[in-house]
């Protein structure tokens, strides 16, 4: 496949499949977007609405509008913003809830740093798309909350109750451990601050981005094992032997993007060897020539092909190609896109509009029928972002009409 072929296919997938699918889940009665579609493509209009889900949908439509300039997409982003503001936002204590009911009443009122970060991400992109300064003000309110109540001298804390007393990190702890700090939360605060800095260029935010890159380099990245550690105790000691392949390839390109947005040559020099090492290690350890395995825990590889891991792999390998010029990464990105087309995109007919991806498939492409198509974590963030990145990175050569 040529770069033109990839760009055209990805652009068509975005416009003909993902955008119509998520438009179809708009809830015009209660706000936001329907929070559950089961494997058999049956929406549950009374399902809980995750605030992360709605932040990510708002981010998706804001970025789709910025790229495509279709006014209907800005209307969708505005719809998502209004739900975040009116239903997900705690007007008394500050911050964003974990989830609300289908009709916008608080369900899980805990405040998670990860969740606040995704709201900053959405609000920053919506501000860029709409020019609505209220969105930027809200983003800075969450920024101040994270910096004032959700971190200490060593890094970001994880989970808090409604009024910001620290609680156990059940939401982002997995694999049989309870983590006081996680690579995942740090990565997505970094990602959110990068977006906030990109749209407003406040140097205080830039300094926090530099501080987080120092944490990644000094506490999270394991030079000896050529990977990131995932779960930590309060002192940044790793508490499990776990290699998250998807997070490593995602981190590689997000950190490269962060250094580019920041425009700091010293940090680009500092972080480039790390991002190059992570990309190379993932290519050799987790990529089988067609797709990427999920993770390796205590030496045991999880071979499920997860939707978000494949999406991040396409972007990560394309980024690796751009940074190194090595054609192996471009070929790998092309091959993973072929796997996505053949096996992960849900090609069943009968749904009201568009198509989404299966949650996960086996290496032969057999989908897991126990997993839904939409739920609080399953959204157009990873695969939508893959589309945006592929189109933007290859648009000059592809001459795609957007």
Query: Domain of 244?
Result: 3-398
Q: Which residue has the tokens 């499920």?
A: 304
CB 314 within 8 A of CB 340: yes
Q: What is the pLDDT of residue 351?
A: 79
Instruction: List pLDDT tens digits, range 25-79.
Output: 999 999 999 999 999 999 999 999 999 999 999 999 999 999 999 999 999 999 9
Q: What is the pLDDT of residue 396?
A: 59
Confidence band for 398, pLDDT divided at 50, 70 and 90: very low
Closest CA to 87 of 58, 62, 66: 58
Q: How many domains does the chain have?
A: 1
Q: What is the pLDDT of residue 324?
A: 97
pLDDT average, residue stretch 75-92: 98
pLDDT value at 269 more than 50: yes
CB 292 within 8 A of CB 310: yes
* 56 Cβ contact partners less than 8 Å away, ≥ 6 residues apart: 118, 122, 379, 380, 381
pLDDT average, residue stretch 214-221: 98
pLDDT average, residue stretch 139-154: 98
Confidence band for 350, pLDDT divided at 50, 70 and 90: confident
CA–CA–CA angle 363, 369, 372 (5° rounding): 110
pLDDT average, residue stretch 73-93: 98
pLDDT value at 397 more than 70: no
CB 127 within 8 A of CB 63: no
Q: What is the pLDDT of residue 394?
A: 85
Whole-number mean pLDDT of the chain?
96
Confidence band for 352, pLDDT divided at 50, 70 and 90: confident
Could you tell me the CATH number of the domain that includes residue 356?
1.50.10.10
């Amino acid at each position: 496949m040529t770069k033109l072929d990839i760009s055209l296919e990805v652009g068509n997938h975005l416009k003909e499949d993902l955008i119509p699918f998520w438009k179809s889940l708009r809830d015009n009665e209660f706000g936001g977007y329907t929070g559950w579609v089961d494997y058999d493509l049956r929406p549950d209009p009374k399902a809980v609405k995750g605030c992360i889900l709605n932040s990510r949908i708002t981010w998706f439509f804001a970025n789709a509008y910025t790229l495509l300039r279709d006014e209907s997409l800005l209307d969708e982003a505005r719809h998502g913003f209004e739900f975040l503001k009116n239903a997900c936002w705690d007007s008394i204590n500050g911050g964003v809830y974990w989830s609300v009911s289908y009709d916008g009443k608080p369900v899980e009122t805990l405040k998670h740093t990860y969740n606040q970060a995704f709201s900053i991400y959405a609000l920053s992109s919506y501000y860029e798309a709409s020019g609505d300064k209220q969105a930027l003000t809200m983003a800075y309110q969450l920024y101040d909350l994270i910096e004032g109540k959700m971190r200490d001298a060593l890094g970001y804390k994880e989970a808090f109750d409604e009024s910001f007393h620290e609680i156990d990190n059940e939401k982002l702890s997995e694999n049989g451990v309870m983590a006081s700090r996680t690579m995942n939360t740090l990565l997505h605060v970094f990602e959110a601050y990068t977006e906030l800095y990109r749209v407003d260029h406040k140097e205080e935010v830039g300094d926090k981005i530099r501080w987080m890159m120092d944490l990644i380099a000094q506490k999270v990245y394991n030079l000896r094992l050529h990977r990131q550690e995932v779960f930590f105790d309060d002192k940044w000691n790793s508490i499990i032997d776990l290699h998250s392949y998807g997070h490593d390839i995602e981190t590689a390109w997000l950190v490269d993007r962060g250094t580019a947005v920041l425009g700091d040559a010293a940090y680009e020099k500092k972080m480039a060897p790390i991002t190059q090492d992570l990309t190379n290690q993932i290519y050799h350890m987790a990529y089988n020539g067609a797709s990427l395995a999920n993770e390796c825990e205590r030496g045991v590889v999880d071979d499920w092909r997860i939707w978000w891991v494949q999406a991040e792999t396409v972007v990560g390998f394309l980024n690796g190609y751009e940074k190194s010029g090595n054609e192996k990464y471009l070929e790998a990105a092309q091959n993973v896109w072929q796997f996505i087309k053949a096996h992960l995109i849900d090609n069943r007919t009968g749904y009201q509009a568009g198509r989404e991806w299966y949650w996960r498939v086996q290496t032969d492409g057999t989908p897991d029928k126990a997993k839904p198509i939409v739920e609080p974590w399953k959204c157009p963030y990873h695969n939508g972002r893959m589309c945006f990145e592929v189109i933007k990175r290859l648009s000059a050569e592809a001459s795609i009409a957007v």
